[in-house]
A and B are shown apart, each in its own frame.
Chain A
């Protein structure tokens, strides 16, 4: 068994931890977002992209979080499938709708950025298509869990699907390197690729998205714990 911090391995301790951590992460996200947006909107328009560079501060963090959340979903699914970890399955189930929303957000804001810059809303190139496939994996995960009455079977099938979908993550990341693409290459983590006047607010916005997701993830996991408790109580009442 992989050792885990006590607050992650024990539902009671997790509930005590998440009770104060969720609002704290939420508050941190608000402060980071306000600061990031202030700096981002105070920066001058880009010499090539003009004012559309403002879309970068909401699009790039959403796109990065789309993959980060899937890594967490696949990791939690692995722990649930192999080690039958108490909270891992709840964490995977709770991550899926948030990941789907962030991926859809990345696709829509990317399209709104692409139209004025590329002259098209959409192209079937490797980056855009692989992110669309990522979104479809999220949707398939949610649909699969909802379609089976037996929760244990649904959890196992969805965990296998999540692990299969993880194959898409390297394609999303390296698609702009492996194939010719309209989409630009990675600039956020490449030193000197982005002027500090844009890099600083972009980094703050990424931290805001990360903290905001952390808060919402904890709230949704708490909901899953309550749901399982309610269903267990209903089962006990039916047997009594």
Chain B
């Protein structure tokens, strides 16, 4: 059974998880945007 009660350590544990989620969100968005942007640009320049 999952135990989400972290008691007096909440001020350390939840920010650690929040920052991890944020870091992965930034890495995923950055990688996808970089790839999509340059793919679109390459296709525009290559023509039909």
A→B interface (CB under 8 Å): 38, 41-42, 44-45, 50-52, 54-55, 58-59, 62, 97-98, 101-102, 104-105, 108-109, 112-113, 115-116, 212, 216, 219-220, 222-224, 226-227, 229-230, 233-234, 237
Contacts and interface: CB of A to CB of B under 8 A. Distances in A.
Contacts of B7: 50-51
Contacts of B17: 54, 58
B30 A52 contact: no
Contacts of A229: 38, 42, 46
Contacts, number: 100
Given A42-B3, A112-B12, A233-B46, 7 more contacts: A52-B9, A52-B12, A54-B6, A108-B16, A212-B24, A226-B39, A230-B42
Contacts of B23: 101-102, 104-105
A38 B1 CA distance: 9
Contacts of A115: 12
Contacts of A108: 16, 19
Query: Looking at chain B's contact residues, is the secondary structure mostly helix, strand, loop, or mixed?
Result: helix
Contacts of A50: 7, 9
Interface string B2-19: 111111010011011101
Question: Which of A41, A51, A52, A237 neighbours the largest number of chain B CB atoms within 10 Å of its CB?
Answer: A51
Contacts of B9: 50-52, 116
